[in-house]
Chain A
């Protein structure tokens, strides 16, 4: 059988986590279920379990990140791995070393797992194809392409608050065009059986043919938010203002910023999510961000359990061990 998905081995066991696209529902559920078992670990006296003892996790961040890198680091340390953080933007690559040479050198230092953030779409795929069997790659965000652990922690958050996926109406709001988070969310939501996924954005911030991903497109918050159970806000990157995408952040806030008035259009028990970092007063009003329906800080906490789950599953048995 030809293995079309580089994330899975021939026995369909997860080897790398590169994107939520094409990942079967049982694997997504396995990650969410495993994350649930890790939730209690942080409440113990000893907030560590020995599953990755003796393993080395290299955080390769070619792009700045605070939250994602920190939660990956905490997750790996809670699993007892040794964590090495490399701020590549200011090291080897600035001296001219290629991406794969960097990876080869780090592999020679006996890395077991790479967590990769890169501004180029496909960087994590490239590394996953290049590394020796038994070395695992986790995509922590590549260009506009994918950010699977963010999408998984969002799914975990939704499941914690809403329990089921099959009866939900979910809206993703904001800069869909440039968002790797949105792409990964859409794939995960549709795979997990959410019957109605909406995207709400101005035309300039939507990819062409976005409806092919199985989403309903809205340009107006007043229509798009009606009877929604889950609102997934996206960050509006300030640099977009400099292009021809948007007139001004004030204008954006007027039409697409989430205010208490707009939130009232959704279901009364709707939850508000945001992957961070937030631009208050641009895509979200402070009153909403800090309000009773916001689950933005729990998302960050759940991110640790979800990343522990992904690492623990990847570090499990190898095909040579007979599965």
Chain B
């Protein structure tokens, strides 16, 4: 099956976030796809706003959810040199959490736990490029690029090419794909 153009989805997502974007003190992306999205959204929002209001300030950060995953007993801890980078005070901040694909909701649950290790935010909202449905936890996104219905055995992933252009790819869950985030979106 053909997958939607990730760049078009990004533009949709950006347009949906833009009217509310002044509310958020920080954008926080989930490693790895969400972190790429957050970086780009942060850049584009700052560029859009600073034209008419130079005082516009928005922070960005990155979360690694590996310490809070609920399947540690099954898959263990994978060494990634990336750990969370939250270079701003979380206490009292309105935070927009960003991920590429939302499915079970388990990654978001782990990300919220991780974020709370840094402080008590005033609020957390969620933006995702793709919502696949099939939730296993009571979690919903406020901003969605597209809703897709995909076979359960497929994993959907965001990638980017050498020029930073986003594209989506799909693989079989138990195939050659060794990325352990697969069953955990």
Contact with A along B105-139 (1 / 0, CB 8 A): 00000000100111100000000000000000000
Query: A45 and B117: CB pair below 8 A?
Result: yes
Kindly report which residue of chain A lies nearest to residue B80, judged by CB atoms. Answer: A37
Stretch at the interface among B19-27, B38-46, B66-74, B142-150: B66-74
Q: Is A33 an interface residue (CB 8 A)?
A: yes
A297 within 8 A of B: no
For the complex, count residues of B whose C-beta is within 8 A of A.
22
A316 & B83 in contact (Cβ 8 Å cutoff): no
B82 at the interface (CB under 8 A from A): yes
Per-position 1/0 for A15-50, Cβ under 8 A of B = 000000000000001100110111111001110111
B-facing residues in A279-323 (Cβ within 8 Å): 312-313, 315-317, 321
- Complex interface: chain B residues within 8 A of A316 (CB): 72-73, 75-77
Question: For B165, what are the chain A residues with a Cβ–Cβ distance below 8 Å?
Answer: none
Main secondary structure of the interface of B (DSSP, over half): loop
> Considering the chains assembled together, what is the distance between the CA atoms of A40 and B68 in angstroms?
15
**Closest B residue to A46 using CB positions:** B117
The interface size of chain A toward B, counting residues with CB under 8 Å, comes to 23
For residue A34, give the distance in angstroms from its CB to the closest CB of chain B. 4
A194 within 8 A of partner (CB): no
Interface assignment of B163: CB less than 8 Å from any CB of chain A = no
Question: Are B77 and A51 touching (Cβ within 8 A)?
Answer: yes
The chain A residue with its CB closest to the CB of B82 is A37
Counting CB contacts under 8 A, is B79 at the interface? yes
A321 in contact with B73 (CB, 8 Å) = yes
Q: Is the Cβ of A51 less than 8 Å from the Cβ of B72? A: yes
Residues of A within 8 A of B80 (CB): 33, 37
B59 at the interface (CB under 8 A from A): no
* Inter-chain contact B119/A45, CB cutoff 8 Å: yes
CB distance from A80 to the nearest CB of B (A): 10
Out of A30, A37, A50, A317, which one reaches B68, CB within 8 Å? Answer: A50
Docked-complex contact A37 and B66, CB < 8 angstroms: yes
- Chain B residues within 8 Å of A313, by CB: 76-77
Q: Is B32 an interface residue (CB 8 A)?
A: no
Q: Return 15 A-B CB contacts under 8 Å, by A number.
A: A34-B79, A37-B82, A44-B117, A44-B118, A45-B90, A45-B117, A48-B117, A49-B68, A50-B68, A51-B67, A51-B77, A313-B76, A317-B73, A317-B74, A317-B75
Interface residues, chain B, CB within 8 Å of chain A?
64, 66-68, 72-77, 79-84, 90, 113, 116-119
Q: A: which residues have CB within 8 A of B?
A: 29-30, 33-34, 36-41, 44-46, 48-51, 312-313, 315-317, 321
